[in-house]
Amino acid sequence: MNRAEPRSLVATLVSQKDAACLDMATIARARACLPSAEVAVLAPNIAVDLFFQDTRDSAIPLAALRETLANLPVDCVIQPVAGRRKRLFLADMDSTMIGQECIDELADAAGLRAHVSAITERAMRGEIAFEPALRERVALLKGLPIGIVDEMIASRITLTPGGTELVRTMRANGAYTALVSGGFTVFTGPISQKIGFDMHRSNLLEVADGHFAGTVTEPILGKEAKLATLEELRARFNLPPQASMAVGDGANDLAMLGAAGLGVAFHAKPVVAEAAHARIDHGDLSALIYFQGYRDEDIVRA
């Protein structure tokens, strides 16, 4: 009977920064799950790589690591050593690259936040289809002045920590980066520029006399369009699937995450966290820098 050849794998552990709990004792506990693993510190007390050889499905040692570190705010991923530095990055915007859902913020200005937020939550959990849910929510925005967007970006929208460093570090190392959102170009345009993405793609809210018309240009950019963007960019740059990474939090990100070389669920809805290749439950977006093997001194600071 043929025996499987061991694969060169790396387990990356990333602590929530405020906790900084990856001291030598914790690393030793993790290393006990991976016999003969070689340790490389990426950021003291924050991020560490454990290099090892294994023939098993990587879900087995990953589950052991998560169980061992269950009482600590540490995110873990196991992946092949080869190809871990990605050359294409796609990111969702709302509740991923920013801390808000833009349509909920617009609804707040219309006095309809609770109603619209409930629809958003159901759509992101995959309980209702994204496209009709978006049309329903956009219709409720009819009559809002378009100028309110600039006010919201200035006063309400916050960038997720680590996101700007992630995009700029990847671009400095030759990667192409795209912000792909089921939200709206009035937000993705300025936000993508602020973070430093190469491109952005999202939905167009229709305007009449300086006010939102309550409609969105068809076809709506949703789950399939995000996947299509990933495939389009991969073909443009002639990249193999494993050279790409995607991150998101909602059900409309599932196809994109599944097709990426590394699909990461970021503080995601349960259906997304269960399906993604990797997940960030504790840390910020800088975890994706360390997942690729960059050291603290390699990071391009915002």
Active-site positions read 92, 94
φ and ψ at 268, to 5 degrees?
-95, 165
Write out the two tokens for 110.
């219309």
Cα gap 106→138, rounded to integer Å: 9
Half-sphere exposure of 221 (CA within 13 A, CB side): 23
CA-to-CA separations, 45 to 25, 36, 297, in angstroms, rounded: 11, 21, 14
E strand or H helix at 86, and its extent? none
E strand or H helix at 73, and its extent? none
- Measured N-to-C along each axis, helices 185-195 and 148-155 cross at an angle, to the nearest 10 degrees, of 40
Return the closest-CA partner of residue 13 out of 24, 27, 34, 25: 27
* H-only helix segments in the chain: 24-31, 59-68, 102-109, 113-124, 130-139, 148-155, 163-172, 185-195, 223-236, 254-259, 270-275, 287-291
Cα gap 61→77, rounded to integer Å: 10
Q: What share of the chain is helix, strand, coil (3-state, %, to 5)?
A: 40, 25, 35
* Number of C-beta neighbours around residue 72 at 10 A: 16
Instruction: Tell the burial category of 117 from Cβ atoms under 10 Å away from its Cβ (0-12, 13-18, 19+).
Output: middle
